[in-house]
Amino acid sequence: MYKFIVRPDCHYTDTDSIVLSTKLDDEHVNNNLGGFKLEYAIADGIFVSPKAYAIKTADDQSVVKFKGISKGRASRGDLYRLYSGETIRFNLQRMYRNYLTGIHSRCTEITINPSNDPLKYKVRDTKGR
C-alpha cells in the first residue's frame, strides 16, 4: 500500500482504500489478495478529513461519507461548509438500551468544528486542483 500512498497523485487514503487522479494498472485491480477493487471513477471530490468526504463519480452519482453521521444525513454542501471554516451541526436520533427500562431514543445535537490541520483540507478534482 505504501508505494501507492506516496504517489504525487494520491489525494486520499484510508485503511483499505486510495483515491488517485490516474488509473491504476490492470495488474493491481483484481480480486486477488492484495489487489484493489475499482469502486468509482471520480470526476471530482472533497476530502475534509479521514472518513469524511464527498465525491461525484464520472457517471454523475454523488457519494457522501461522514463517520459518525447516519447515511443520508450529511450532504456535499455540509462538507464544503466545513472546508470553508464553518461549524456544522446535526440533530441525530440515537437509540440506546437500558436493561431495567427497555429501549429508548434520544435526540442529540452533534457539533463538528473545522480542524486547523491544513493537511485535512485539500479539495481535489481529476486534474489535482
Segments making up each domain of the chain, as ranges: 2-125
- What number of residues does the chain have? 129
CA atoms within 13 A on the CB side of 54: 19
Cα–Cα distance for residue pair 33/5, rounded to 1 Å: 18
Average pLDDT over residues 23-46: 85
- Whole-prediction pTM: 0.69
> What is the pLDDT of the chain when averaged over all its residues?
80
Cα–Cα distance for residue pair 23/83, rounded to 1 Å: 27
Instruction: Give residue 118's pLDDT band: very low, low, confident or very high (50, 70, 90).
Output: very low
104 bridge partner residues: 96
Average pLDDT over residues 48-75: 86
Say yes or no to pLDDT of 38 above 60.
Answer: yes
CA atoms within 13 A on the CB side of 17: 11
Higher pLDDT: 111 or 128? It is 111
CA 49, chain centre distance (Å):
7
